[in-house]
A and B are shown apart, each in its own frame.
Chain A
Amino acid sequence: MTTATATKLPPSQHEFAEVIHRLEAGGAMLPDTPENLMQIIGIYKAYAVPMDFYWRDLLYIAERVFLNPLPFFKYFLPKEYLELHNHYAGDDADLRIWQKGEATAHPELLAFMEKGETFKMPKLLHHLWHDRVNMEFAEACMQAMLWHGRDMGWGKFDAYLDTPEYKAAADRAIKAYFKGNPLMLGLYKLFPEMFIEQVRQLSYYSNLGLFWEVMAPVFFEMSDLYDSGGIKSVPDAMNFLVNGIFAVAGRPIYHHVYIGGEMYEIIPKSCGFTWLYEAALPYVEAVFYRTAPFRGTKSYNAQVKQIPDEQKDFHYGILYADVFPVGTAGIPPTLLMQDMLHFLPPYLVDYYRQHCRGEDDALIQLGITFQRSMYCVTSAVIQALRGALLYPLDDPNPKHLQANRDFFEKQIDRFRRPEARLRDIQSQNYR
């Protein structure tokens, strides 16, 4: 029924014409090979397990830990949150994305939280030895969203954080939280903006937690489908993501805090914030594209403007990252890579053993695989945006097709700079 759209328009003159044509044919930025597919599905599953921890802990911090001045145990996820039902898995799901899974924490995650990389110890020892899920990565993603919030052009979440309604709601919650604590209340009177800013940060915790609550079952379902043969190609995987994006687009984004048994709505659901506009798109923009400059074994020269003046020109996200572990949170995602290392499916472990330095540098190999997979996710976002805001790929009107192409080209233009890894992922040798 659909004719190949590539024949309706003359070939693109863009530097990445091949990628543009692939997108116009319904594909992804990542080439469609079985090796790529195996890599990305495997890494999605390895990503989803720690993500299960991240979203639960993010919500725990946003909702319960709240303004605790000394949150020493904020990474110690209570049973209540481990058993919190994911809204998109299990029998009582709003929309059951992960068909075979449970709504509570993933069993592999629970097994890892018991033993870590070493052996079964009291939780405190695991925490101090840093033999745990690296929650610092999730917090770094949250900070990226907070820091780039206003400038991104997506959604109304960040603007709402400055409104009087938000401040009033935050004020109520702060007073309730510190009831009976004259020291903190006194500090609040002296420095109200400081506390409100902390609450804003906590709202972003909630935002990111609700975002990832959706992504985890999506990735688990993709892994299950791949294992059972339901996903046979990279475009299949991408289309699953596109459908997932639309299906959950309307999910509300809110910030509820539980203080003394009562729920305080800092950002109520009635604000109308959606998962797509207020969580997913800002997240992609902040974490995939922008983030913050690489910290670690590299210094920057301010005089030659090695760091862009405008935040919107930042290009330090996962799509641009040089995936070498440097130990800091944020991008490059060293901490996430270490988390993913614990949950790799066996076929990926074998695959990494056969290349480069085998097990010794599996960390970097899986980091590069992760980069490929995030290009697939970004392709899904681009295709979803095209689907929402532009025309179908098989639209008969050439002006519409040209509009599509212009949109694709503008998106791919962001990957023309030398740091972008779009070029590298076209080859299988980039490991």
Chain B
Amino acid sequence: MLSTLIWMPMLGALIVGFLPGNLTASRLRFIALAIASLILLITIGLLSQFDLTASGLQFQESLPWIPHLGLNYQLGIDGLSLPLLALSSLLTWIAIYGSHEVERSRIYYALILFVNAAVAGAFVSQNLLLFVIFYELELIPLYLLINIWGGPKRGYAATKFLIYTALSGVLILAAFLGMTWLSNSTSFDYEAIITQGLPLREQLILLTMLLVGFGIKIPLVPLHTWLPDAYTEASPPVAILLGGVLAKLGTYGLIRFGLGLFPETWGIVAPGLAIIGTISVLYGALSAIAQKDIKRMVAYSSIGHMGYILLGGAAANSLSLVGTISQMVAHGLILALLFHLVGVIESKVGTRELDILNGLLNPIRGLPLITSLLILAGMASAGIPGLVGFISEFIVFQGSFPVFPLQTILCVVGTGLTAVYFVILLNRTCFGKLDNYQAYYPKVTSQERLPALVLAAIIFILGVQPNWLVRWSETTSTTLIAAVTINQQVAINPPPSTDN
């Protein structure tokens, strides 16, 4: 079943790319949407068949591929990757639905489906080399997606994105190679890698390379400088994919390969990670407050909210890890909603400048539903109870406070700052008086409304019934943490030495 999730979108991309005939943009969108719906259905099937109580990987598939390279086609899914896979399928569907009248639609939809395939492959790979292959596969399509369909500064933004992410790929590959060779394992299979035996210094070097590599992807401050431009210049559907899905590759990699493969040394780097997470939160929030472009504000908000994920990962207890995984999903949903709404506002009003936007809540000549949902998205991002943002942030804080109290408190302050810039955004954009001179905006179509309503509904439902979000990852986080605690204890209380 997992392979289908990789090969179906790839096949779909080929179909969309090479289907003969002079198909219109809307027809191509329909085909792509059909494929995305199929993917979504399979994902839902996967969710329904997932065993919540089993620890360890499920739906495993294993095929030898190039054994003498150590590359095996190993797939498997657990409570860490399943929610992210579901998020990816949903957001791909949303991104395709939200694209309309795109130029060069063939290649556009083909690239999106290809990215979906690569991301799915990365999430389910249980072989390090396979992971890197899928990780690198999504690079060029995203570069093209930003560069061809983006805003005025797209060339600059896309190139910066490419360079940064390529560098991250190189670092990750180097780390993986180091891990495999130094631990003398026969293949790159996840299960085969044991780093516990390695000297501490080597472990730390490898882990740091992983951290920097994935840190560029997440991104973490100070490796984040590619993000504001890339998110702002990308068209809204691409930005949804970038922020909602691709960023999660970074955090997923960090937990899966960082925490998962370096249980001994994770405890050593954790305080530093917690600090970096806190810095990200505060930096993202403070930068967002200073922005005058609403899309850029949302981009910085994304940086801020990724910091919570890192805090939860650093704390490394089962509650905080559940919070981390939930925040990955929540952040993806909320960011997708925000980018979509900001995209609609830009396309109707024609500007993204905070100084110019005003009074859009006007029921007759404004965008009442879109701005209402923007208020909801802002509330969700700021962690207002009743919406999913609160759930994930609260679990992260609850889990991290015993381990890193100061950093947690600072992150809570960051949540408060989120409210600050969202109030600024909403106050300027939604409230106030719409001016007669400017207010001849086209109507919002139901095609533009539907993705927003779907996302808002999910955000609300998961906020009110958080169990539906959290239960997937509970068993897995306990499993992941078990290895860390034992090894930490071993490291702290080494078994009595036998020499005497």
B433:A324 contact, CB within 8 angstroms: yes
B443:A298 contact, CB within 8 angstroms: no
A contact face: mostly helix, strand, loop, or mixed: loop
- Chain B residues 412-436 with CB under 8 Å of chain A are 431-436
Contacts A297-B359, A357-B365, A360-B364 given; indicate if A322 touches B433 (C-beta within 8 A).
yes
Contact of B364 among A297, A325, A368 (CB under 8 A): A325
- Which of chain A's residues have a CB closer than 8 A to the CB of B439? 324
Give a binary string over A299-324; 1 marks a CB under 8 Å from any B CB, 0 the rest. Answer: 00000000000000000000000111
Asked whether B478 is an interface residue with its Cβ less than 8 Å from the other chain, the reply is no
Given contacts A297-B431, A324-B365, A424-B436, 10 further A-B contacts (CB under 8 A): A297-B359, A297-B432, A298-B433, A324-B436, A357-B443, A360-B364, A361-B365, A363-B364, A430-B436, A431-B440
Expressed in whole angstroms, the Cα–Cα distance for A424 and B433 within the complex equals 18
Number of B residues with CB within 8 Å of any CB on chain A:
13
- Chain A residues 318-363 with CB under 8 Å of chain B are 322-325, 356-357, 360-361, 363
Contacts A324-B362, A325-B364 given; indicate if A360 touches B443 (C-beta within 8 A).
yes
- Chain A residues 201-228 with CB under 8 Å of chain B are none
Asked whether A164 is an interface residue with its Cβ less than 8 Å from the other chain, the reply is no
A364:B433 contact, CB within 8 angstroms: no
- Which of chain B's residues have a CB closer than 8 A to the CB of A357? 364-365, 443
CB distance from B168 to the nearest CB of A (A): 47
Between A and B, 27 residue pairs with Cβ closer than 8 Å are A296-B433, A297-B359, A297-B431, A297-B432, A298-B432, A298-B433, A322-B433, A322-B435, A322-B436, A323-B436, A324-B362, A324-B433, A324-B434, A324-B436, A324-B439, A356-B365, A356-B440, A357-B364, A357-B365, A360-B364, A360-B443, A361-B364, A361-B365, A364-B364, A364-B365, A430-B436, A431-B440
- Which of chain B's residues have a CB closer than 8 A to the CB of A363? 364
Expressed in whole angstroms, the Cα–Cα distance for A146 and B432 within the complex equals 30
CB distance from B129 to the nearest CB of A (A): 57
Expressed in whole angstroms, the Cα–Cα distance for A363 and B363 within the complex equals 11
Which residue from chain A places its CB closest to the CB of B432 in the assembled complex? A297
Which residue from chain A places its CB closest to the CB of B365 in the assembled complex? A361
- Which of chain A's residues have a CB closer than 8 A to the CB of B364? 324-325, 357, 360-361, 363-364
Expressed in whole angstroms, the Cα–Cα distance for A325 and B434 within the complex equals 10
B365:A297 contact, CB within 8 angstroms: no
- Which of chain B's residues have a CB closer than 8 A to the CB of A431? 440
Give B contacts to A, CB under 8 Å.
359, 362, 364-365, 431-436, 439-440, 443
CB distance from B444 to the nearest CB of A (A): 10
Expressed in whole angstroms, the Cα–Cα distance for A322 and B438 within the complex equals 12
Give a binary string over A406-431; 1 marks a CB under 8 Å from any B CB, 0 the rest. Answer: 00000000000000000010000011
Expressed in whole angstroms, the Cα–Cα distance for A10 and B436 within the complex equals 36
- Which of chain B's residues have a CB closer than 8 A to the CB of A324? 362, 364-365, 433-434, 436, 439
- Which of chain B's residues have a CB closer than 8 A to the CB of A368? 436
Expressed in whole angstroms, the Cα–Cα distance for A325 and B365 within the complex equals 10
- Which of chain A's residues have a CB closer than 8 A to the CB of B436? 322-324, 368, 424, 430
- Which of chain B's residues have a CB closer than 8 A to the CB of A364? 364-365
CB distance from A279 to the nearest CB of B (A): 31
Expressed in whole angstroms, the Cα–Cα distance for A431 and B441 within the complex equals 12
CB distance from A154 to the nearest CB of B (A): 30
- Which of chain A's residues have a CB closer than 8 A to the CB of B440? 356, 431
Expressed in whole angstroms, the Cα–Cα distance for A360 and B434 within the complex equals 16
Expressed in whole angstroms, the Cα–Cα distance for A360 and B443 within the complex equals 10
- Which of chain A's residues have a CB closer than 8 A to the CB of B435? 322
Expressed in whole angstroms, the Cα–Cα distance for A325 and B362 within the complex equals 9
Expressed in whole angstroms, the Cα–Cα distance for A416 and B44 within the complex equals 65
CB distance from A105 to the nearest CB of B (A): 30
Task: Name the 8 nearest CB pairs between A and B, nearest first.
Answer: A361-B364, A297-B433, A298-B433, A322-B436, A361-B365, A357-B443, A364-B364, A363-B364
- Which of chain B's residues have a CB closer than 8 A to the CB of A361? 364-365
Q: Could you say which of B364, B431, B440, B443 has the most chain A C-beta atoms within 10 Å of its C-beta?
A: B364
Expressed in whole angstroms, the Cα–Cα distance for A297 and B439 within the complex equals 16
Expressed in whole angstroms, the Cα–Cα distance for A322 and B364 within the complex equals 14
Give a binary string over A214-252; 1 marks a CB under 8 Å from any B CB, 0 the rest. Answer: 000000000000000000000000000000000000000
- Which of chain B's residues have a CB closer than 8 A to the CB of A322? 433, 435-436
Expressed in whole angstroms, the Cα–Cα distance for A424 and B439 within the complex equals 14
Q: Could you say which of A357, A368, A431 has the most chain B C-beta atoms within 10 Å of its C-beta?
A: A357
Expressed in whole angstroms, the Cα–Cα distance for A368 and B443 within the complex equals 20
- Which of chain B's residues have a CB closer than 8 A to the CB of A296? 433
Q: Could you say which of A296, A298, A361, A363 has the most chain B C-beta atoms within 10 Å of its C-beta?
A: A361
CB distance from B348 to the nearest CB of A (A): 12
Expressed in whole angstroms, the Cα–Cα distance for A297 and B428 within the complex equals 12
CB distance from A315 to the nearest CB of B (A): 16
Expressed in whole angstroms, the Cα–Cα distance for A364 and B435 within the complex equals 12
Expressed in whole angstroms, the Cα–Cα distance for A368 and B435 within the complex equals 13
- Which of chain A's residues have a CB closer than 8 A to the CB of B434? 324
Which residue from chain A places its CB closest to the CB of B443 in the assembled complex? A357
Which residue from chain B places its CB closest to the CB of A360 in the assembled complex? B364
